[in-house]
Amino acid sequence: MLWRLKNYALVICLFVFLFVVIGNGLHLTPAASLIAAMSGTPLVIFAFSCWHDAQCRGGDARLPSQVTREWERR
């Protein structure tokens, strides 16, 4: 339960961070900043998840289909 709460809190902090950084950095309106943060948060989480999975698997961050094609060529 505590682990899940921590993950939700980190996502909220990431959203607020992106809202402030994107909104102030690009001089967007509040509505545009909200939309940018709403679309940027899942992208950052997905990219970090892929990077973390690659680190756990041994550093091969390519798609499984690319790895399979190279293995079939050998």
Q: How open is the CA angle 13-7-48, to the nearest 5 degrees?
A: 80
How big is the chain, counted in residues? 74
| pTM for this predicted structure | 0.65
How high is the pLDDT of residue 53?
75
The per-residue pLDDT string of the chain (74 residues; one tens digit each, 9 = 90 and over) reads 788 898 899 999 999 999 999 888 989 999 999 999 999 999 998 888 887 777 776 655 555 555 555 555 55
How high is the pLDDT of residue 56?
73
Residue 53 C-alpha from the chain's centroid: 12
3-state secondary structure of 63: coil
CA distance 69 to 74: 9
